[in-house]
Structure 1
Amino acid sequence: WVLDKLKAERERGITIDITLWKFETPKYYVTVIDAPGHRDFIKNMITGTSQADVAVLIVAAGTGEFEAGISKNGQTREHALLAYTLGVKQLIVGVNKMDTTEPPFSQARFEEIQKEVSAYVKKIGYNPATVAFVPISGWNGDNMLEPSTNMTWFKGWQIERKGQKFEGKTLLQALDAQEPPTRPTDKPLRLPLQDVYKIGGIGTVPVGRVETGILKPGCVVTFAPAGITTEVKSVEMHHEALLEAVPGDNVGFNVKNVSVKELRRGYVAGDSKDNPPKGCEEFTAQVIVLNHPGQIASGYTPVLDCHTAHIACKFKEIKEKCDRRSGKKLEDMPKSIKSGDAAIIDLAPTK
Structure 2
Amino acid sequence: MGVLRAKNVGYDDEDGYGEEEEYYDEDEEETPGMSDEDREQLQTGTLKVKEGLFGSDVTVTDAQIQEALWHYYYDVGKSVAYLKNKYGTALEEKAVTTPKKQKTPSRFDQVVEAIPATPKSATGRDPSFLPLYLQESSPCTAPRLNMYIGHLVYPLADLTNYMPASPSPGFFWDTPWFGVPSHRLGEITIEPRLPRGRLLGGSSKPSKLAALAAARKKKQEDAKNATPATNVETDKAVTLLDKLTLKSRENGPQTPRGASSEETPAPRKYLRKRSPSPIQVPKRVASPPPEPAKPLITFPDLRAQPSAFAAVLCGLDSPCHESPETVNSFPLPYTALPDFKDANPFAGPSPDDILSVTIGPKPKPARRTSDGHDLTTSMEKTVIEESTKVRSKNLNVVVEFNRSGLKRMANFVVIGHVDHGKSTLMGRLLFDMNVISQRSIDKLRKEAETMGKSSFALAWVMDQTSEERSRGVTVDIATDYFETDTTQFTILDAPGHRDFIPNMIAGASQADFAVLVIDASTNSFESGLKGQTREHAMIVRSMGVLRIIVAVNKMDTVAWSQHRFEEISRQMLAFLTSASFSPKRITFVPCAGLTGENVTRKADDPNAKWYTGETLIEALDASELPKRDLEKPFRLTIGDVFRGGITTPVSISGRIDVGTVQVGDNILCMPARETATVKGIEVKDCPVDWAVAGQISTLHLVDIDPVHLRLGDVVTPISSPIKLYKSFSAKLLAFDHVIPSPVDVYRGRLQAEGTVVRLDALLNRFSGEVVKKHPRIVKPGEVARVRVRLERELPLEVGGRVVLRFRGETVGAGVVEG
Q: TM-score, normalised by structure 2?
A: 0.39
C-alpha contact (below 8 Å) 1:296/1:338 kept by paired residues: no
Displacement, 1:339?
2.8
Does 1:11 find its partner at 2:470? Answer: yes
Corresponding residue to 1:253 among 687, 699, 704: 699
- The answer for the alignment partner of 1:214 in structure 2 is 660
Q: What per-residue deviation string (whole Å, max 9, x for no partner) do you get for residues 203-249 of structure 1? A: 11122211111111111111112211222111112322121111122
Alpha carbons of structure 1 residues 313 and 325: separation in structure 2 relative to 1, 3 Å: farther
Does 1:49 find its partner at 2:508? Answer: yes
Does 1:107 find its partner at 2:552? Answer: no
Corresponding residue to 1:296 among 739, 742, 758: 739
Aligned runs of 1:141-220 on 2, under 5 Å?
141-150=596-605, 151-156=608-613, 169-201=614-646, 202-220=648-666
Amino acid in the other structure paired with 1:152: K
Amino acid in the other structure paired with 1:277: I
Does 1:268 find its partner at 2:709? Answer: no
C-alpha contact (below 8 Å) 1:20/1:33 kept by paired residues: yes
Question: Runs ≥4 in structure 1, deviation > 3 angstroms?
Answer: none
- The answer for the alignment partner of 1:348 in structure 2 is 789
Q: Distance in 2 between matches of 1:137 and 1:98?
A: 6
Aligned runs of 1:205-244 on 2, under 5 Å?
205-244=651-690
Amino acid in the other structure paired with 1:153: W
Displacement, 1:110?
1.1
Does 1:319 find its partner at 2:760? Answer: yes
Amino acid in the other structure paired with 1:34: D
Deviates more, 1:336-345 or 1:243-252: 336-345
Deviates more, 1:13-22 or 1:247-256: 247-256
SS of 2:662's equivalent in the other structure is: coil
Q: What per-residue deviation string (whole Å, max 9, x for no partner) do you get for residues 253-272 of structure 1? A: 12222111122112211111
**For this pair of structures, how many residues does the alignment match?**
330
> Structure 2, unaligned stretches of length 5 or more?
1-458, 793-818
C-alpha contact (below 8 Å) 1:61/1:109 kept by paired residues: yes
Amino acid in the other structure paired with 2:617: L
SS of 2:767's equivalent in the other structure is: coil
Q: Distance in 1 between matches of 2:751 and 2:495?
A: 18
Q: Distance in 2 between matches of 1:308 and 1:190?
A: 15
C-alpha contact (below 8 Å) 1:95/1:133 kept by paired residues: yes
Alpha carbons of structure 1 residues 11 and 350: separation in structure 2 relative to 1, 3 Å: same
Amino acid in the other structure paired with 2:752: I
C-alpha contact (below 8 Å) 2:502/2:749 kept by paired residues: no
Amino acid in the other structure paired with 1:75: Q
Does 1:75 find its partner at 2:75? Answer: no
Higher strand share: 1
C-alpha contact (below 8 Å) 2:628/2:658 kept by paired residues: yes
- The answer for the alignment partner of 1:162 in structure 2 is none
C-alpha contact (below 8 Å) 1:232/1:253 kept by paired residues: yes
Displacement, 1:250?
1.5
Amino acid in the other structure paired with 1:183: R
> Structure 1, unaligned stretches of length 5 or more?
157-168
Corresponding residue to 1:59 among 518, 535, 539: 518
Q: Distance in 1 between matches of 2:610 and 2:779?
A: 45
- The answer for the alignment partner of 2:548 in structure 1 is 91
User: Which protein has greater RCO, CA pairs closer than 8 Å, 6+ apart?
Assistant: 1
Does 1:26 find its partner at 2:485? Answer: yes
Q: What per-residue deviation string (whole Å, max 9, x for no partner) do you get for residues 47-74 of structure 1? A: 111221111111111011112112xx32
Q: Distance in 2 between matches of 1:315 and 1:130?
A: 33
Displacement, 1:348?
2.4
SS of 2:640's equivalent in the other structure is: strand
Displacement, 1:5?
2.2
Q: TM-score, normalised by structure 1?
A: 0.89
C-alpha contact (below 8 Å) 1:318/1:344 kept by paired residues: yes
C-alpha contact (below 8 Å) 2:636/2:715 kept by paired residues: yes
Q: What per-residue deviation string (whole Å, max 9, x for no partner) do you get for residues 291-328 of structure 1? A: 35xx512xx22111102311112223322121334322
Q: Distance in 2 between matches of 1:176 and 1:122?
A: 23
SS of 2:565's equivalent in the other structure is: helix
Displacement, 1:334?
2.1
- The answer for the alignment partner of 1:35 in structure 2 is 494
Amino acid in the other structure paired with 1:175: L
Alpha carbons of structure 1 residues 50 and 262: separation in structure 2 relative to 1, 3 Å: closer
Q: Distance in 2 between matches of 1:122 and 1:320?
A: 23
- The answer for the alignment partner of 1:337 in structure 2 is 778
C-alpha contact (below 8 Å) 1:321/1:342 kept by paired residues: yes
Q: Distance in 2 between matches of 1:51 and 1:123?
A: 24
Q: What per-residue deviation string (whole Å, max 9, x for no partner) do you get for residues 140-197 of structure 1? A: 11100011121111121xxxxxxxxxxxx20111111111221111001111112222
Alpha carbons of structure 1 residues 135 and 345: separation in structure 2 relative to 1, 3 Å: same
Amino acid in the other structure paired with 1:47: A
Amino acid in the other structure paired with 1:80: A
C-alpha contact (below 8 Å) 1:227/1:278 kept by paired residues: no
Displacement, 1:26?
2.8
Amino acid in the other structure paired with 2:520: A
Displacement, 1:281?
2.9
Q: Distance in 2 between matches of 1:132 and 1:332?
A: 38
- The answer for the alignment partner of 2:428 in structure 1 is none
C-alpha contact (below 8 Å) 2:591/2:598 kept by paired residues: yes
Displacement, 1:200?
4.2
C-alpha contact (below 8 Å) 1:232/1:254 kept by paired residues: yes
Q: Distance in 2 between matches of 1:55 and 1:20?
A: 14
Deviates more, 1:25-34 or 1:123-132: 123-132
C-alpha contact (below 8 Å) 2:652/2:698 kept by paired residues: yes
Displacement, 1:139?
0.7
Q: Distance in 2 between matches of 1:39 and 1:242?
A: 38
Alpha carbons of structure 1 residues 130 and 336: separation in structure 2 relative to 1, 3 Å: closer
Q: Distance in 1 between matches of 2:767 and 2:506?
A: 25
Q: Distance in 1 between matches of 2:686 and 2:789?
A: 40
Q: Distance in 2 between matches of 1:120 and 1:338?
A: 17
RMSD: 1.6
Amino acid in the other structure paired with 1:251: S
C-alpha contact (below 8 Å) 1:282/1:349 kept by paired residues: yes
Does 1:285 find its partner at 2:730? Answer: yes
SS of 2:495's equivalent in the other structure is: coil
